[in-house]
């Protein structure tokens, strides 16, 4: 886990909102995009950053890409900062 990539990823409000939406369950790229006043290409860039951080996983279903939350990465990163030992690179 690249801890720095994770913290970079969650530094943007739109990306945190994406994670929050995915807590309710997996969702397609288009459905997620519908929750924002941003173009799909812009959202796609945000998805990529979340995927690079392994905060989400993606699965293709037909023409749609379904995004899933990977909660454990989030927990690991945040508990690292909250806990005693240093995990900052």
Partner DNA sequence: ACTCTAATTAGATGAATATCTAAATATTGA
Partner DNA sequence: TCAATATTTAGATATTCATCTAATTAGAGT
Q: Does 14 bind DNA (CB under 7 A)?
A: yes
Contact flag: residue 28 with DNA (CB under 7 A)? yes
3-state secondary structure of 20: helix
Closest CA to 56 of 4, 6, 12: 6
Total residues in contact with DNA, by rule CB under 7 A: 28
Determine which helix (DSSP H) or strand (DSSP E) holds 40, and give its type and residue range. helix 40-52
Question: Which residues, in sequence order, are bridge partners of residue 60?
Answer: 65
Helix axes 40-52, 13-23, angle to 10 degrees: 80
Which residue in the set 7, 51, 52, 57 belongs to the binding site for its own copies (CB under 8 A)? 7
Q: Computed over its alpha carbons, how large is the radius of gyration of the chain?
A: 13
Q: What track of x and - describes contact with its own copies for positions 12 through 51 (by CB under 8 A)?
A: -x--xx-xx--x----------------------------
- In whole angstroms, the minimum distance from the beta carbon of 70 to its own copies comes to 13
* Beta-sheet pairing, 27-28 with 64-69: antiparallel
Shorter beta-carbon distance to DNA: residue 42 or 79: 42
List interacting residues with its own copies (CB under 8 A). Answer: 4, 7-8, 10-11, 13, 16-17, 19-20, 23, 74-75, 78, 81-82, 84, 86, 88-89
């Amino acid at each position: 886990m690249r801890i720095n990539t994770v913290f970079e990823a969650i530094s943007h409000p739109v990306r945190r909102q994406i994670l929050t939406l995915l807590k309710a369950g997996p969702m397609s790229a288009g459905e997620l995009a519908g929750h924002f006043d941003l173009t799909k290409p812009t959202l796609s860039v945000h998805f990529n950053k979340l995927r690079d951080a392994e905060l989400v996983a993606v699965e293709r279903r037909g023409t749609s890409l379904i995004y899933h939350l990977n909660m454990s990465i989030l927990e690991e990163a945040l508990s690292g900062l909250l806990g005693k030992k240093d995990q900052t690179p």
